[in-house]
Structure formats: C-alpha cells, structure tokens
Amino acid sequence: MAKISPTTRISPKTRTWFITGTSSGFGRLLTEKLLARGDRVAATVRKPEALADLKADHGDRLWIASLDVTDSEAVRRTIDKAFHDLGRIDVIVSNAGYGLFGAAEELGDDQIRHLIDTNLIGSIQLIRAVLPHLRKQGGGRILQISSEGGQMAYPGFSLYHATKWGIEGFVESVRQEVAPFGIDFTIVEPGPTRTNFAAGLVSAEPTDAYENTPVGDLRRAFVEGSFEVKGDARKMVEAMIASVGQNTAPRRLTFGAAAYASINSALRNRLAELEGQKDAALSMDFDD
C-alpha cells in the first residue's frame, strides 16, 4: 500500500473512491470503470493479486489494501491509512458481502455468524470508521450495496435478508444523524444480476423435509438454471457512478425489472395491511 505520490496530478473533477470487495462483481466493475474515467480508487480485497492487472495499467491511481471486513480493527486501520495516504476520499462504497441459501433450520451456526459478521457487522463497522474522516473533511457520499432483498424476501434466504434489512435500517437512522455534516447515503438495491453472486453463494446441506416446499422449488430452479437473471451489472455500475454527480443523493437506487416488481408488490401489500389495521392502531393510545 504505497502512499500516493505528491506529483500525481488529479483533475479538479476527479473523485477519489474507497470500495470494498473489488476482486469481482460490482466492486471489480466499479473499479475498472472509475480508473478508466480518470478517478482514483482505494480498493480492498482479500487477495491483492486479484487487482494486479489494474495496478499495472493505472499505477498510483489505484491504492490496494488486503482486508477482511469481519475484522473490525483491521477495517479501522485500513480506513485510517487510506485517508492518510490519499488525503481526501469523496465516495465510500460498502460492497463486500455474499449470499447464504437454505431453510432457516438447515443453516449451521458458523454459517449464520459468518454471514452476519460479513454483510451486516462488516458494513456497519466500515461506515462507523469513515464517519469521523468525512465529518473532518466537510462531507462525502456513502453507497451501501444492499439488494431487492432489503425490502422483500425469498424463501431460503432468511439470513441473507436479515443482513440486508438490517443494514438498510442502520443506514436510514445514520443518514439522519450525519446529514448536518454534509454526509449523504444511497442504498443500492439490485435485483437478480449477472455477476458472480451465484458462484459465491453458500448453501446449507439440504434436508428431505424441505424438498417439496418453496425452498426446494427455488433450490431446483438454481440447479436447473430456470431462475431468471436479467440484470446488467455494467448498466447498474454506470448508474451508481452517475448518482454521485447528483447534488442530492437518491435515498435508494432500484435496479432491474425484477427488483422493481418485487419491491413494488411488497410495499403495496405492506401498505394495504397497514391501512386495514388503521382503526385498531389509532385506538391504542390513552383516551386522555
């Protein structure tokens, strides 16, 4: 992790980004696109050699650190060093994470803990670590990569959804805390997308009890390739980058027709249920 040379010329319009999980998927695509357009990127990966080709092409504009986001102390050290070396970081992208599939009772304790440590606690600790730096420099933008699964749910992804609903609630609260400091958040909610998500999906050992249930149906759809995945990751990356150029940060970015349909349906159903309970809800306060 070499410090950016003081002779490195940065255009006034150039931004500096900090991105976790850059070895593949959205993280890798973002890094490639940003470097190609002239921005600087601080990229974290589990194995730095995964970015050797980009380092060779872009030199000092790519700062690389090895980071396991489940190590909270390492997260803080890496963030501190990145701001020290780069001087200012305009955009933080909390992207590191993976999926876990299986009925809730099929999942192992270690699988549950590691998923929560990575997707939820890792994202929380990253955001907590960058806030003092962003306050000190007068603001910045944080993009939290979530999922359509932060507002709806598939069977078999209970723990994955727990992490995504959890991080969205965290961001909704923290956004209000730090708005006075010029720090803005955008939650990114892609639907099924052609990345390496499926390849990195961890699955629990299946049990016969769930063979003929929605969990079994979805498991077979994955195996047979009948689960439709139409999302274009490159278009989504372009939209993420473009959102940072907007004066007002969008609270959410919903990507893909499937995500729009599933979130729309989930929100409408929840609102209808709420309205159906309106009279009962309003009657629960003290009469005086």
The domain segmentation of the chain, as residue ranges, is: 16-282
Homologous superfamily (CATH) of 16-282 is NAD(P)-binding Rossmann-like Domain (3.40.50.720)
State the catalytic residue, choosing from 23, 94, 160, 262: 160
Give residue 129's region: left, alpha or beta (phi > 0; psi -120 to 50).
alpha
Q: What are the pLDDT digits (tens) for 148-201?
A: 999 999 999 999 999 999 999 999 999 999 999 999 999 999 987 777 666 678
| Residue 97 pLDDT > 70 | yes
The residue with tokens 């990966």 is 45
State the catalytic residue, choosing from 146, 147, 158, 262: 146
Q: Catalytic annotation on 147?
A: no
Q: What is the mean pLDDT of the chain?
A: 92
Q: Report the pLDDT value the prediction gives residue 11, as an integer from 0 to 100.
A: 40
Q: What are the pLDDT digits (tens) for 110-161?
A: 999 999 999 999 999 999 999 999 999 999 999 999 999 999 999 999 999 9
Residue type (1 letter), 205? E
Q: Report percent pLDDT > 70 for the chain.
A: 94
Q: Report the pLDDT value the prediction gives residue 242, as an integer from 0 to 100.
A: 95
Give 251's contacts (C-beta < 8 A, 6+ positions apart): 175, 185, 186, 187
Say what the pTM is.
0.91
State the catalytic residue, choosing from 98, 147, 164, 262: 164
Q: Catalytic annotation on 260?
A: no
Q: Report the pLDDT value the prediction gives residue 173, as an integer from 0 to 100.
A: 98
Q: Catalytic annotation on 226?
A: no
Q: Kindly state the average pLDDT of the residues 224-233.
A: 80
Q: Report the pLDDT value the prediction gives residue 144, as an integer from 0 to 100.
A: 98
Q: Report the pLDDT value the prediction gives residue 198, as an integer from 0 to 100.
A: 66
Confidence tier at 77 by pLDDT (50, 70, 90): very high
